Amino acid sequence: MFVRWKTRVPWRAFYKDFPHRNPGKSFSAVLVRSERIDGEPRQRIVAYLGHIKEEYLDSKAQRLYFWEGVDRQLNALTFSPEERQHIEEQLREVVTRPTPEEVKKDKQESLDKLLRHFGRL
């Protein structure tokens, strides 16, 4: 099994007139199994793992959200620890998993920002 990444680019002519509203590329991760049918190789989709927009690849919160969804999908399937590690390595090539320290720091920054906004800090 392997991860196949699909890249989607908006094609609508509408966005050329309004570049500030252009949603940009998005990446979808699909878990695929390769098998032969009548001697021909075929790819069968095992599970949809998640998607993320290109503009959010640097966002800790969006990466965390992506990985939470991936973990839910992978937990629903049965893999050996080696298989799961191999799948996660393929995913990390595109979307890095945020560290617990990054998540904690990001949550604290968000809380501080909210408190400042509402005048509580």
User: What's the average model confidence in pLDDT over 41-47?
Assistant: 92
Q: Which run of H or of E encompasses 58?
A: none
Position of tokens 């009548």? 38
Q: Are 21 and 83 in contact (CB under 8 A)?
A: no
Among 1-10, 14-23, 37-46, the minimum mean pLDDT is found in 14-23
Q: Name 3's Cβ contacts closer than 8 Å, sequence gap at least 6.
A: 29, 30, 31, 32, 49, 87, 90, 91
The pTM assigned to this predicted structure is 0.78
Mean pLDDT of the chain: 87
